[in-house]
A and B are shown apart, each in its own frame.
Chain A
Amino acid sequence: MDNPSPQNSGEPQLRDHVYDGIQEYDQKLPNWWLFTWYITMVWFVIAWLAYYQFGVGRTDHEAIDQALAAISGESQKASNELTDEKLWSMSLDAKTVEAGKVTFTTFCVACHGADLMSKKTHPEIPTLIGLPLADTEWKYGPNPTQVLGIVRKGSPDLTKGMPPWEPALGIRKSAEVVAYILSHHKQGEATTLAPDSPLLNAGTAAPAPAPITAPNPAPTKP
């Protein structure tokens, strides 16, 4: 065993080897630096133990699944309250319609046009790829809840039509947009189904003729 040689405290030790004129001191490691390092190591051990040994906290999947379940519950509750009657009455409320217009202008005009008529009034604009919304012909049903269903979940074949907007907008803004669309209509006006309407098909195929008030077709999961 070597005898620990007494270091001259205070005076830093210069090492005797010189490299191309470069000398080196051999100062002690700064304590604050060492302790910072030790703390990060200890933190690793503690956090790892907490998560893997003691199951502290949720996994990412648990956390996100719980948050989504909560949202879907809220949204279900809200949509139960959003009946046809309620949506029609919202369409008469100027403030709601104005809020819906703001959302519509941001997200919907690119495809449906500022006048909500899409190619019907502007056939020369190729980007108007949405359906007209201010006429009386409906592809997915004229009832306010049906329109809301399409806004929330998107069109049944997502690759050809509208994306689901509820995840980004939330149920409230979705309902406001529907109110804005309805403000271009009158409750009880005569409506027709478009010739390519899936409801028309379902209506002829199904024995019981109850398509108009049927719940929206669930969007096909890709």
Chain B
Amino acid sequence: MSTATNTNATKAIIEYDDKSVRQFMLASIIWGLVGMLVGVLIASQMNFRFMNFDTSFLTFGRLRPLHTNAVIFAFVGNMMFAGIYYSTQRLCKARMASDLLSKIHFWGWQFIIVCAAVTLPLGFTRGQEYAELIWPINIMVALIWVVFAVNFFWTLHKRNEPSLYVALWFYIATIVTIAMLYIVNHLSIPTSFTHSYSIWAGVKGALIQWWYGHNAVAFFLTTPILGIMYYFLPKAVERPVYSYRLSIVHFWSLVFIYIWAGPHHLLNTALPMWLQYLGMFFSLMLWAPSWGGMLNGLLTLRGAWDKLRTDPVVKFFIAAITFYGMSTFEGPLLSIRAVNALSHYSDWTIGHVHSGALGWNGLMAAGLFYWLTPRLYGTKLRSVALANFHFWIALVGILFYVAALWIAGIMQGLMLNAVNPEGTALMYPNFLETVQAIWTPLAFRLVGGTLYFVGMIIMAVNLFLTIRSGKAVNEKREVVLLQRGQKDTMPLKETFINDPIAYMLGGMLLVLGFIFLPAHANLASLVCAGIFAVIAVKKFRQSHHAWSHWYEKLLHNYLPFTVLTFVAVVAGGLIQIIPTVVVSKAQNVEDRVQRPYTPLELAGRDIYVSEGCYNCHSQMIRTMLPDVLRYGDYSRLGESIFDHPFQWGSKRTGPDLARVGARRSASWHFNHMRDPESMSAGSLMPRYPWLFEEKFDQKALPGKIAVLAGMGEPYPPKTSDVIKQEAIEQGIKIVEELKKEGLQTTPDMKIVALTAYLLQLGNYDTPKPKDPEANPAVVPFPLKPGNPDVYRSGVKTAAAP
């Protein structure tokens, strides 16, 4: 059959859509400059409080989300699209399927970015990291992502190259996984055009947020860039890729394991232990797959190391891959619970993220753009010397940045965790002392970030001059058109029913048995898994040709490949999230349950979220002695069970607030919000004068409470008038309390609502002793996903009377 088609091979000249590539590239450079400028500004706010300018839309809490979103979705997003559009067309020997979809994709994405840049500084936010954009923008993102997906898969469908190259595998994984993560984590119910409540509360919100947040790093900042590496690096160094089989092993292990690692963002918190352990151990098992990508990149250079001296593109690529290796080593290290006890909430995490973002993403982007621009404009790079200068200033900038935050993070972590030799009191009880101690390293961070930003400007100028010296050209190529039957012929049956898949799934099931089954059954499962693995290896040795052949065939079939990729990425999330989501609230609350907010407190909480307080303050006291001594009794799951969205936080530039209610008075908060330095000399916190001038939104309260009640939270039904009246009555009480200290305000001010919220932080009810029958330990496994924690001897069960 194939010989017949070969004789009638029809050829055609196609013109690649390089215009879209140029557009995405330019957008990436422009947004990159904006995002990094905001980054430099907010870094300066960590050293100089006046850089907040006492202005609402310039405060750290509102600008940090702008920085993270701009760099992730605008800079890396557009860069990724440029790389994907360029390489996919060439790897498919086909023009992008639809020019219209490409246009909608490009302009839609830029419109989303503009919307984000306007709404975030105005305080419109969902209050979850990298998921801050409000719901109308969420819908646009989802729609544009679908447009991108359709355009991409349609191009695969029309391809004239039967087999899928490894770069495309990574693009496929990116598209399906980001769609899944984004949609699930952004499910929310609107209360107005600009505000919504996430449908996930408390621990569910936390678990899903970090399933999303961690894998946004994995599938937005890592897999597409690996795909770009697999196409552009061999092109730049003109060497074959190091190892095809390493590509296979590291691709599938990476996409499968990455998804499990999310809970490592919640170590030592109230999160159930089994999830913490899964997060930690899968992070460690992720180390090798990540390094597989690094090895395949670095070793591709074998035999062409001289290019590292002469070609700036290769310099950028190789440095980027090295940083990828460094941050994927640091990631598992930080996921070890003992290390995390020190590093979590500290600037070490920020440094880690930036060694990935500046080192891996930023340098890959620079290499890509220096390689693309001359080709897209039919000219030569204007100045190799400037590109080399960019390389060195960027490299020095990153090293400054990362080293400074190692010092800052480790120093502050050690100070915060230090207790006296008897272990009875904190060595540095004054939180501010630990913030002031890291002033100098943070200043070096600012210098490093600024150097990197200057490098970006140099690149922009160099590329601008290059573009001016050339003319936009679209590459044309003669391709042999594929006939039907030369690709995409694999039936679904053959996709799923074969030895490799059977062994993989069987092994996985046995490992799940090991994780979830009660004592002894889990051991049996483990032994079976071992035996099964031996059989699988034997079988592979016997018939590895058949297995390779099956995989080669899979590569000729994009839909089955996509389906299998989806199966690999969906597993980890389902296994971790379902047990927590389906469990009834009562089983998640342990011994304490949060009190639902009064209307005024709810209004205050929405202000807390809107001002982005979570960017510096956590609400999660970890089960660690220093945390408990500093902030009070450790947090229980039940204490945030009604929080839409959860506000556990990930960074402590200020102290934890989970129990601040019982520690500070109304007048303290009032003074502190007006001028933090009046209550805490040397504080870095911005002033919030507008909270004393603006009224909180009373009208929205009944609608908001109705939405929360609709989601099952225990808000008693009340009329709108009663709700508004209760809010004002509680406000009057606080105003009177303040008056005793000579402080004047009115009960409808934002500061009053925020104070009401802060005053109740840490309140909880103790639920009545549970019916022993309701103990989850007695629920048989098949009916309810197992919770391994109940199998451990010594784990406390229902509270004793």
B618 within 8 A of A: no
Q: Which of A123, A167, A172 has the most CB of B within 10 A?
A: A167
List chain B residues, Cβ under 8 A from A161: 665
Contact (Cβ within 8 A) A55 B793: yes
Contact (Cβ within 8 A) A170 B741: no
Contact (Cβ within 8 A) A19 B161: yes
List chain A residues, Cβ under 8 A from B742: 119, 123, 126
Please pick, from A26, A106, A159, A171, the residue contacting B243 in the complex, using a CB distance under 8 A: A26
List chain B residues, Cβ under 8 A from A22: 165, 231, 234-235, 240-241
Q: Given A20-B93, A29-B245, A159-B759, do A52 and B792 touch, yes or no (CB 8 Å)?
A: yes
Interface with A: B42-50, B135-143, B416-424, which one?
Answer: B416-424
B100 within 8 A of A: no
Chain A residues touching B, range: 35 or more
Please pick, from A25, A44, A52, A67, the residue contacting B423 in the complex, using a CB distance under 8 A: A67
How far is A34 from B289 in the complex, measured between Cα atoms in Å? Answer: 9
Contact (Cβ within 8 A) B285 A68: no
Q: Given A26-B243, A160-B665, A170-B426, do A47 and B623 touch, yes or no (CB 8 Å)?
A: no
Write the chain B residue with the least CB distance to A2: B545
A59 within 8 A of B: yes
B247 within 8 A of A: yes
Q: Which of A61, A70, A107 has the most CB of B within 10 A?
A: A61
Write the chain A residue with the least CB distance to B796: A61
How far is A35 from B680 in the complex, measured between Cα atoms in Å? Answer: 52
List chain B residues, Cβ under 8 A from A33: 288, 291-292, 295
Give chain A nearest CB distance to B424 CB in angstroms: 5
A74 within 8 A of B: yes
B578 within 8 A of A: no
Contact (Cβ within 8 A) A222 B763: yes
Please pick, from B91, B241, B425, the residue contacting A25 in the complex, using a CB distance under 8 A: B241
A60 within 8 A of B: yes
Please pick, from A19, A53, A160, A172, the residue contacting B519 in the complex, using a CB distance under 8 A: A53
Question: Looking at chain B's contact residues, is the secondary structure mostly helix, strand, loop, or mixed?
Answer: helix
How far is A34 from B292 in the complex, measured between Cα atoms in Å? Answer: 10
| Chain A positions 60 through 80: 1 when the CB is less than 8 Å from some CB of chain B, otherwise 0 | 111110011011001100000
Number of A-B contacts (CB under 8 A): 206
Write the chain B residue with the least CB distance to A48: B277
How far is A222 from B662 in the complex, measured between Cα atoms in Å? Answer: 7
Contact (Cβ within 8 A) A160 B737: yes
List chain B residues, Cβ under 8 A from A70: 423-424
Q: How many residues of B contact A (CB 8 A)?
A: 90
Q: Which of A4, A27, A30, A154 has the most CB of B within 10 A?
A: A27
Contact (Cβ within 8 A) A163 B794: no
B624 within 8 A of A: yes
Residues facing A in B720-763 (CB within 8 A) are 737, 741-743, 759, 762-763
List chain B residues, Cβ under 8 A from A1: 542-543
Contact (Cβ within 8 A) B429 A107: yes
List chain A residues, Cβ under 8 A from B788: 52
How far is A59 from B433 in the complex, measured between Cα atoms in Å? Answer: 32
How far is A169 from B763 in the complex, measured between Cα atoms in Å? Answer: 23
| Chain B positions 240 through 254: 1 when the CB is less than 8 Å from some CB of chain A, otherwise 0 | 111111110100000
Give chain A nearest CB distance to B498 CB in angstroms: 15
B630 within 8 A of A: yes
Contact (Cβ within 8 A) A67 B625: yes
List chain A residues, Cβ under 8 A from B420: 170
| Chain B positions 536 through 562: 1 when the CB is less than 8 Å from some CB of chain A, otherwise 0 | 000000111110000000000000000
Q: Which of B247, B277, B420, B629 has the most CB of A within 10 A?
A: B629
Interface, chain A (partner B; CB < 8 A): 1-2, 4, 14-15, 17, 19-30, 33-34, 36-37, 40-41, 43-45, 47-49, 51-53, 55, 58-64, 67-68, 70-71, 74-75, 106-107, 110-111, 119, 123, 126-127, 129, 154, 158-161, 163-164, 167-173, 222
Can you list 13 A-B pairs, Cβ within 8 angstroms, ordered by A?
A: A17-B163, A25-B240, A33-B292, A40-B281, A48-B277, A52-B791, A55-B793, A61-B796, A67-B625, A110-B679, A127-B678, A158-B662, A160-B666
Interface, chain B (partner A; CB < 8 A): 90-91, 93, 161, 163, 165-166, 231, 234-235, 240-247, 249, 268, 273-274, 277, 281-282, 284-285, 287-289, 291-292, 295, 299, 420, 422-426, 429-430, 433, 514-515, 519, 522-523, 526, 542-546, 623-625, 628-630, 632, 634, 661-668, 671, 678-681, 737, 741-743, 759, 762-764, 788, 791-796
